[in-house]
Amino acid sequence: MITLLPTSTTVHEEAQKQPNYSNNNNNHHASQQKHADAGALFVLKSKGSWMHCGYHLSTSIVAPPLLSLPFAFTFLGWTAGILCLVIGAATTFYSYNLLSLVLEHHAQQGRRHLRFRDMARDILGPRWGRYFVGPTQFAVCYGAVVACILLGGQCMKAIYVLANPNGDMKLYEFVVIFGCLMLILAQIPSFHSLRHINLVSLILCLAYSACATAGSIYIGDSSKGPKRDYSIKGDTENKLFGIFNAVAIIATTYGNGIIPEIQATIAPPVKGKMFKGLCVCYLVLIFTFFTVAISGYWAFGNEASSLILTNFVDNGNPLLPRWFIYLTNIFTIVQLSAVGVVYLQPTNEVMEQAFGDPRSPEFSPRNVVPRLISRSVATASATTIAAMLPFFGDINSLIGAFGFIPLDFILPVVFFNLTFKPSKRSPIFWLNVTIAVVFSTVGAIAAVAAVRQIVLDAKYYRLFANV
């Protein structure tokens, strides 16, 4: 699977065989803007550079769920764990490039797609866009918002418990506090407006990943950590389902689900800009994903928790200086707010399309009032779900299996083959078919494993639980 990356030259050659319609691109873009709905006009503004695109991509992919990668290794072991990380990186980089090339091709033909569902409707047909891709993307992105709010509340509680072990504040109270921060950030008008926030987010993900790596190495190199055991726990059945749970975790960590919306923020002409943005993102990704996964699993073995920062405290006793744990959690909390706002953009776009008026100015009362209400309701609803269901991680694994795997691993290769129609004798055609078949199978099994885990954990579920 490592040979996926060199095929990008072949991909670009295949794409370049198609006719170039770039002379009409700017005129058509102006026409699109004139007739755009409020969601496209106000939320998906096409004003950014390739560097801004890199910031958006880094925030949407290199997010705090990467701190669960050592936990995924506990189901896979060293060899399979590192192999899955490499395959995930190679396949998603390849798939996101394919998706970008398909978007560029349609833009050159005079049909620039700003949304995933528009792309699916044009390539697969209206029913696919309306009944599968649109709802799937919405569930994935809104689920990511809920997960960010929950994880933000958990990090806040971790700081509180360390500072005040006898405190009586509950998890749902911290979730609500974090939700209030999200409520403010949700009012930022457009995706493009997040570019500076996402630059800070990129710096923060490097910071907390470096802290997590340094903390793991320090504990692993001292006598404070647990005795390292790299064996995989459980009987044969649990080991088998654990493998697919781990695959779902890794797929969700690499997941994006909003590539078309991110590319929509780029000012035309878009040709080649997404590739540069992806290179920025994957340089950050390689540094963060691999260092955190390897150092965390090396330090804690099969005792690595679902959030590696939890391993830095043992029965209430910090294994690192308190200020270091506080700082790492603060970096994580702040970046989570940026990630949550990025994944709120498809919801904002749908709300704006439904309630906004493209004929009125963006900041007129006619548009500001519905925007304020709809975004506040969406954020408050996500906060309520996060507070009520602190076991949302199990549900998110299911969303990842049903959502991120189709959107990020399967549909890009299908779109490319249907759009460019490479020869059935060409390696790229069969590579894409292989990826689609393999990840369809993996996604189906991962979904079964996620459902099984929900059933097993159901006895622990309780609304507003203080976990």
Residue 37 has pLDDT above 70, yes or no: yes
Domain of residue 261 covers: 35-458
For CA atoms 221, 227, 232, 234, give the dihedral sign. negative
| Contact (Cβ atoms closer than 8 angstroms) between residue 398 and residue 449 | no
- Put simply, whether the predicted model's pTM sits higher than 0.95 gets the answer no
141, 174, 427 from 396: Cα distances, Å: 11, 20, 35
Token pair 């994935």: residue? 140
Q: What is the rounded distance in angstroms from the CA atom of residue 69 to the CA atom of residue 84?
A: 11
Residues 150-169 pLDDT 10s? 999 999 999 999 988 888 89
Q: Among 135, 200, 181, 162, which Cα is nearest to 386's?
A: 181
Number of domains in the chain: 1
pLDDT value at residue 40: 84
Q: In a 3-state reduction of DSSP, which class is residue 200?
A: helix
Please report whether residue 13 resides in a domain.
Answer: no
Residue 262: burial class (beta carbons within 10 Å; 0-12, 13-18, 19+): buried
pLDDT value at residue 25: 44
Q: What is the rounded distance in angstroms from the CA atom of residue 176 to the CA atom of residue 382?
A: 10
Q: For 170, left (φ over 0), alpha (ψ -120 to 50), or beta?
A: beta
Residue 222 has pLDDT above 80, yes or no: yes
Q: What is the rounded distance in angstroms from the CA atom of residue 135 to the CA atom of residue 281?
A: 27
Please report whether residue 304 resides in a domain.
Answer: yes
Amino acid at 296: G
Residue 451: burial class (beta carbons within 10 Å; 0-12, 13-18, 19+): middle
- Give 19's pLDDT tier (boundaries 50, 70, 90): very low
Distance of alpha carbon 125 from the chain centroid: 26
Please report whether residue 294 resides in a domain.
Answer: yes
Q: Which two tokens stand for residue 23?
A: 């002379």
Please report whether residue 9 resides in a domain.
Answer: no
Residues 412-437 pLDDT 10s? 999 999 999 999 889 999 999 999 99
Please report whether residue 219 resides in a domain.
Answer: yes
Which range among 233-242, 305-314, 389-398 shows the weakest confidence by mean pLDDT? 389-398
pLDDT value at residue 15: 46
Q: What is the dihedral of CA 90, 93, 95, 100, to 10 degrees?
A: -160
pLDDT value at residue 396: 66
Q: In this structure, how many other beta carbons lie within 10 angstroms of the beta carbon of residue 133?
A: 23
The mean predicted confidence, pLDDT, of the chain is: 87
pLDDT value at residue 400: 74
Q: What is the rounded distance in angstroms from the CA atom of residue 132 to the CA atom of residue 275?
A: 27
HSE of 56 in the Cβ direction (CA atoms, 13 Å)? 32
Please report whether residue 24 resides in a domain.
Answer: no
Residues facing 317 on adjacent strands: 314
Q: For 110, left (φ over 0), alpha (ψ -120 to 50), or beta?
A: left
Q: Residue 435 belongs to a domain with what CATH number?
A: 1.10.4160.10
Positions of E strands within 319-376: none
Please report whether residue 29 resides in a domain.
Answer: no
